[in-house]
Amino acid sequence: MTKNWLITGASSGLGRGLTEQLLARGDGIVATLRKPRALDDLLAQYGDRLHVVECDLTSVDAISAAVAQAFAALSRIDIVVSNAGYGLFGAAEELSDAQIARQIATNLTGSIQLIRAVIPRLREQGGGRIVQVSSEGGRIGYPAFSVYQASKWGIEGFVEATAKEVGPFGIDFVIMEPGPTRTNFGTGLDRAVPMSAYDATPVGEIRRALDAGYFEFADAAKTVDAMITTIDSPSPPFRLALGKSAYESIRASLTRQLEILEAQKEIALSVMEDA
């Protein structure tokens, strides 16, 4: 059975991979992107099964217009994939106000407004699935990615709460948490001007590792396959870690958090009012 999808950030990376594989199997796609000609090759190949909509996620009006065009083009949309975003790299002190504002506007506020825009339409049609592409950085913290990870922690919190609000309407969510993946994420990083004060700190270590390509990457095509298999499932997990780094880092973080929480139990309960 074919499905209809709305995918943001479809011009490259995982968004492009999803679009290619879903079109190949016969599904219908509305793809949003900032570069309107980036999918011309797929348009030529798949014709009216692909609809391309230009959208700037930092504009609420643009998001509303894109969602309206998407539902007009396909009538019903089964899955919305909130994928658009980019990385901001630099120590918190190194980042400019403009860089921080753009990161939050795109990754966090833009994703929130997209989800808000599609919920009424999914509710009216009787349900649907929203997939939020986050990151292993939505659950852990790395030096030099503080604001990027703030945007991912933020959107995961928003999704977790919103999922409880709209579940009665047949709308569910899946959060994808990929680790380092062989896409163009690294080349698209917005980098702060480095300060020499951070050269001998963990920020400097991460910067040198990034420049040297010293990361263990997941395969992009395999990642897309796993995403589609999970999204197609009638009962997918709420969160899905993708890649060795994501699994191991998130597991280690959760284990540490639980150990710390258990050690606090006596203090935590001591502040309760007396019965």
Residue in the structure block whose two tokens are 């994808």? 176
Q: Compute φ and ψ for 234, nearest 5 degrees.
A: -65, -25
CA dist 169 and 128 (Å) reads 9
5 φ/ψ angles, rounded to the nearest 5 degrees: -130, 145
DSSP letters spanning 51-110: EEEE--TT-HHHHHHHHHHHHHHHS--SEEEE-----EES-TTTS-HHHHHHHIIIIIIH
Length of the chain: 275
Q: Which of 9, 48, 47 is nearest to 31 (CA)?
A: 9
Could you give the residue numbers annotated as active site? 134, 148, 152
- What is the rounded distance in angstroms from the CA atom of residue 192 to the CA atom of residue 44? 39
CB atoms within 10 A of CB 241: 20
CA distance linking residue 96 with residue 147, whole number of Å: 11
CB-facing half-sphere around the CA of 183: CA atoms within 13 A: 23
Angle between helices 220-232 and 13-24 (to 10 degrees): 60
